């Protein structure tokens, strides 16, 4: 089973979210991760069926911003894996990519999956798990539990690369989110 995990806790209460002229604006962490996950699930009836048949699970962590898991489902490291779905501002290296697969840890057949996605035309950045503090995200919690995991990162724009700005002025275009959700669907189907 693949557990899709877009966290729903935010750094502010009731953060601003909007959509204008083809782009989302606001505190996009992690509204865009949630949106991308459900766009993927709603893309084909077969995706919804995979969820009903127990091959796909959905989990919304409410402790990501503080580094813990809330009411996490019990997973089997032999059978299950997690795709953390989250955003990141366009740090150096994100500009030329549709999505970034990061904090990779024991995810089965990942090299083949990435190669297949690239053949399909997706521009994938790959960044293995290093354990370094500045890469810390929810995947670290799953790694501590011995569960295979990747973080599927959607690149957004943020002033000073700060995706937690109190001004709530992050942006991301319709095209980026639509592309990321298609890529996530393909990633899931190649993983099953």
Which residues lie near Zn ion (CB under 5 A)? 29-30, 86
55 or 164: CB nearest Zn ion: 164
Q: Whole-number minimum distance, CB 150 to Zn ion, in Å?
A: 15
Closest distance to Zn ion from the beta carbon of 46 (Å): 28
Closest separation in Å from C-beta 14 to Zn ion? 17
Between 29 and 102, CB nearer to Zn ion? 29
Supply the minimum distance, in Å, between the C-beta of residue 64 and Zn ion.
Answer: 6
SS3 letters for the chain? Answer: CEEEECCCCCCCCCCCEEEECCEEEECCCCHHHHHHHHHHHHHCHHHHHHHHCCCEEECCCCCHHHCCCCCCCCCCCCCCEEEEEEEEECCCCCCCCCEEEEEEECCCCHHHHHHHHHHCCCCEEEEECCCCHHHCCCHHHHHHCCCCEEEEEEEEECHHHCCCCCCCCEEEEHHHHHHHHHHHHHHHHHHC
Question: Quick check: 129 and 143 in contact, CB under 8 A?
Answer: yes
By beta-carbon proximity to Zn ion, the closer residue of 86 and 102 is: 86
Minimum distance of Zn ion from residue 139's CB (angstroms): 11
The residue among 11 and 115 lying less far from Zn ion, judged by its C-beta, is 11
Nearer to Zn ion, 46 or 66 (CB): 66
């Amino acid at each position: 089973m693949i557990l899709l995990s877009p966290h729903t806790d935010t750094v502010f209460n009731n953060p601003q979210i909007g959509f204008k002229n083809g782009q989302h604006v606001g505190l996009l962490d992690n509204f865009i991760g949630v949106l991308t996950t459900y766009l993927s699930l709603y893309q084909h009836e077969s995706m919804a069926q995979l969820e009903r048949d127990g091959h796909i699970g959905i989990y919304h962590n409410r402790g990501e911003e503080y580094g813990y898991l809330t009411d996490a489902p019990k997973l089997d490291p032999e059978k299950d894996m997690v795709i953390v779905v989250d955003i990141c501002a366009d740090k150096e290296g994100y500009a030329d990519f549709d999505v970034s697969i990061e904090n990779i840890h024991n995810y089965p057949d990942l090299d083949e999956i990435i190669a297949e996605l690239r053949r399909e035309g997706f521009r994938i950045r790959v960044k293995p798990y290093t354990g370094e503090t500045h890469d810390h995200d929810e995947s670290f919690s799953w790694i501590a539990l011995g569960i295979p995991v990747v973080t599927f990162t959607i690149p957004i724009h943020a002033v000073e690369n700060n995706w937690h700005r109190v001004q709530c002025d992050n942006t991301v275009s319709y095209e980026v989110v639509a592309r990321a959700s298609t890529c996530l669907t393909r990633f899931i189907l190649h993983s099953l």
